Homo-oligomer: A and B are copies of this chain.
């Protein structure tokens, strides 16, 4: 049996143990994991140093090095994340439907674990702990495939968690790390339908599209955010500038930050004047000809620019005739993540919310709120940009399935 199949089988065998585990025991395990991570900071940092050294040798950029680095403070944040998951309600066992059918058959629709979840992610090692805690609380065994850059950090983190699990019983295989980080093995994982129920890629567009292309397991697409703010004719311009500024600059590297603005032609000049007074060139604008008449642009925007997720202090801009043109543009170039209209018009607000095809459609609110914590889900494994299973922030409930339990007294179908 191949290496990755063994991991698959281990996870498949661990999944039923999790199904039987009480909410209390799951929380005890997670609390202990938090403690053990906290007590093993030195070992984690030592392992992380190996990754950092290798990365420096390989000429990794400063920003990627920063994502890879684990400090005491960052480990504390991981630990807090696990404790936060402990505090959330257990989603498993919730009755979400049912009733008595004809012939007295009783039907209960109950929330159950998914089974085995595979997570494929890039260099940030905090995903290792985060993903394990959420999947474990949701009752699923997890197979983690992190990037080769973080392999030593990930091994250290997973070993600590497996060690904690083994203190409670034969539970180690509730979390496994794919230590062979070749692409070949990753691709085999994507086709492990026999053992894995769901695959979640976490990372950039290229990773996500590779997984969609190669996987035969169901995939949930997360985190691609080509988000827009449309400033309508009737917008309060101060509010519009404030929202655009927040959505672009508060944290440009995240998926719910905006990448593009659309501005109604009748207020374009006044809007860009106000925006320029605030930004004074701090954010590079790639705009159409009409934008260029109102404000300095880096270059004239083409379709490629409108399709780009900059994740930087840079955005594309287009002046539009009306809300319909804005909606058409967004539905063409958007990734179905978060979209916003700033307007005083009820008609345009309703039209925008009805016709925009995205997970979260905002009226007069910054797109930065699309987030599991902000939406009250407590935590999130990612933000789904597809329409199957879960859309928008995925919390614990979105990491579950359901089954029907049917009881009767010998009923047969006539």
Residues of chain A at the chain B interface (Cβ within 8 Å): 16, 19-20, 99, 101, 105, 107, 114-115, 193, 197-198, 212-213, 216, 218-220, 236, 239, 242-243, 245-247, 250, 331, 349, 353-355, 357-366, 368-370, 374-376, 386-389, 391-392, 401-413
Q: Which of B99, B218, B362, B412 is A218 in contact with, Cβ under 8 Å?
A: B218
- Contact present for A388 and B388 (CB under 8 Å): yes
- Contact present for B412 and A105 (CB under 8 Å): no
- Can you list 14 A-B pairs, Cβ within 8 angstroms, ordered by A? A20-B355, A107-B376, A115-B357, A193-B212, A246-B412, A246-B413, A349-B407, A360-B406, A365-B407, A365-B410, A368-B412, A370-B404, A375-B404, A388-B388
- Contact present for A408 and B364 (CB under 8 Å): yes
Known: A239-B409, A364-B408, A366-B412. 5 other contacts (CB 8 A): A105-B365, A361-B404, A362-B408, A364-B409, A392-B403
Contacts A392-B404, A403-B391 given; indicate if A413 touches B218 (C-beta within 8 A). Answer: no
Q: What's the Cα separation between A245 and B405 when bound, in Å?
A: 21
A218: chain B residues at CB < 8 Å are: 218-219, 386, 388
Tell me the smallest distance from the CB of A321 to a CB of chain B, in Å.
18
Most buried by B among A331, A358, A374: A374
Tell me the smallest distance from the CB of A88 to a CB of chain B, in Å.
17
Q: What's the Cα separation between A20 and B353 when bound, in Å?
A: 11
Chain B residue at minimal CB-CB distance from A413? B368
Q: What's the Cα separation between A378 and B206 when bound, in Å?
A: 42
- Contact present for B193 and A388 (CB under 8 Å): no
Q: What's the Cα separation between A369 and B357 when bound, in Å?
A: 37
Q: What's the Cα separation between A41 and B199 when bound, in Å?
A: 47
Most buried by B among A220, A242, A407: A407
A101: chain B residues at CB < 8 Å are: 369, 374-376
- Contact present for A365 and B408 (CB under 8 Å): yes
A363: chain B residues at CB < 8 Å are: 405-408
Q: What's the Cα separation between A101 and B406 when bound, in Å?
A: 38
A368: chain B residues at CB < 8 Å are: 412-413
Q: What's the Cα separation between A163 and B213 when bound, in Å?
A: 37
Q: What's the Cα separation between A219 and B218 when bound, in Å?
A: 7
Tell me the smallest distance from the CB of A314 to a CB of chain B, in Å.
20
Tell me the smallest distance from the CB of A329 to a CB of chain B, in Å.
14
A362: chain B residues at CB < 8 Å are: 406-408
- Contact present for A403 and B369 (CB under 8 Å): no
Q: What's the Cα separation between A387 and B115 when bound, in Å?
A: 9
Contacts A216-B212, A250-B413, A413-B250 given; indicate if A402 touches B408 (C-beta within 8 A). Answer: no
- Contact present for B212 and A213 (CB under 8 Å): no
A247: chain B residues at CB < 8 Å are: 412
Contacts A193-B212, A391-B401, A392-B403 given; indicate if A364 touches B242 (C-beta within 8 A). Answer: no
- Contact present for B375 and A107 (CB under 8 Å): yes
Tell me the smallest distance from the CB of A402 to a CB of chain B, in Å.
6
Q: What's the Cα separation between A115 and B386 when bound, in Å?
A: 11
- Contact present for A364 and B239 (CB under 8 Å): no
* 9 A-B pairs closest in CB distance: A246-B412, A365-B408, A387-B401, A368-B413, A239-B410, A389-B389, A366-B412, A360-B404, A218-B388
Chain B residue at minimal CB-CB distance from A102? B374
Chain B residue at minimal CB-CB distance from A140? B387
Tell me the smallest distance from the CB of A367 to a CB of chain B, in Å.
9
Chain B residue at minimal CB-CB distance from A220? B388
